[in-house]
Amino acid sequence: MSSHTYAINPTEAGRAPGEPPLLEAKGISKSFPVRLGTFARGAVSAVDDLWLTAEKGQTVGIVGESGCGKSTAARLILGLIDCDEGEILFEGEDVNVIKTDTYNRRQLRRNLQMVFQDPYSSLNPRASIGELIGFPMKVHAFPADEIGDRVGSLLESVGLHRNHAAYYPHQMSGGQRQRVNIARALALDPKLIVCDEAVSALDKSVQAQVLELLRDQQAEHGFAYLFISHDLNVVEYVSDVVVVMYLGQVVEVCTSERLYEDPQHPYTKALLDSVLTLSRRHEEPASKLEGEIPSPINPPSGCRFRTRCPHAMPICAEQRPAPVATEPGHTVSCHLYADGGQGPVTIDLSSTDSESADSKSTVRRAI
């Protein structure tokens, strides 16, 4: 584990003095062994020294391109796989220790729930919706006569009908199935729900309804979300705090508001520019995300973004950039911010004399 200590969450949402955060990941890493040929072996560095905190009732978004380690981070946090390094604390208790004790493991399962990407494959086709939602309650020994009624209330709370309890997954649409998944995650009154690309498989209008539902449920029950998505717009909509990942590492952490107002890491800037919403399309992107993500089997030395970064310097190949707090609650891992550096320099070409008359649009170009 590195010795980095830095602002990993800008808010301490209503925490009493001495009370631990709901969830802390402290320098967690995970590599997977892979075959590279008949005899050769290698390892994929999926998550490398990841730090994050989630407070009660808060939504922490994790965003980054495909393969950057988001789902691996989720599986580590859920305790589905073990960390190679680092520790995960849930309400101040080490998840690895909790897992060794049957009673505490059951409590952890109850408090930590998940909603996965694929609303089709995550439901057993042979079980009715009522059985699927009721199953976790059965496992946790809820009184049998209460389960049916609670299943009905949960179905209603996610915008379905009590009668849907008798349906089977194939009789429901993708949006309805994801509502069932959400109802199932809510069944045990969890404290944290990990949503891994929970709306990615849904079409835009259904996506908006499910996001609204997730927010309403959080407002009602006060649980926290770890919301994982490759879609920056979705993450912006739901998150209080955003963690930006690149090739297994965290490159920037900030409140959602500030991240979108003032992204600082060259990767975050490029990521945001590459998903300019239609309403912002009058601007030409200031920076573009060029090239492919390098292989996580042999990631670049120093800063892993250096092979795609327009600002790369010799030090970027030599040293991994340490996280720097550039303002309260805003942390960036980039050598451009070390020792009081101000990050990439930008020139506003719209104010230069040489600008042609027919090119009045604001063109900012990173140098």
Ligand X SMILES: Nc1ncnc2c1ncn2[C@@H]1O[C@H](COP(=O)(O)OP(=O)(O)OP(=O)(O)O)[C@@H](O)[C@H]1O
Identify the helix (H) or strand (E) that includes residue 195.
strand 192-196
Give buried/exposed letters for 57-87 (b at 16+ CB in 10 A, else e): bbbbbbbbbebbbbbbbbbbbbbeeebbebe
Residue 303 binds to ligand SF4 (criterion: CB under 6 A): yes
Backbone φ and ψ for 17, nearest 5 degrees, come out as -55, 130
How far apart are CB 313 and ligand SF4 at their closest, in Å?
6
Q: CA angle, 195 as apex, 189 and 201 as ends, to 5°?
A: 130
Determine which residue in the list 188, 272, 293, 316 makes contact with ligand SF4, applying CB under 6 A: 316
Determine which residue in the list 59, 71, 207, 239 makes contact with ligand X, applying CB under 6 A: 71
Residue 162 binds to ligand SF4 (criterion: CB under 6 A): no
Stretch that binds ligand SF4, among 96-104, 136-144, 167-175, 329-337 (CB under 6 A): 329-337
Identify the helix (H) or strand (E) that includes residue 324.
strand 323-327
By C-beta, is 297 or 313 nearer to ligand X? Answer: 297
Residue 71 binds to Mg ion (criterion: CB under 5 A): yes
Determine which residue in the list 48, 214, 335, 366 makes contact with ligand SF4, applying CB under 6 A: 335
Going by the DSSP 8-state scheme, the letter that residue 110 receives in this structure is H
Would you give the binding string for ligand SF4 spanning residues 215-254, x where CB under 6 A is met?
----------------------------------------
| Spatial distance between the Cα atoms of 6 and 262, rounded to a whole number of angstroms | 19
Instruction: Give the position of tokens 């739901």.
Output: 238
Which residues contact ligand SF4 by CB under 6 A?
266, 303, 305-306, 309, 311-313, 316, 321, 334-336
Can you give the binding site for ligand X, defined by CB under 6 A?
32, 34, 44, 46, 66-72, 230, 296
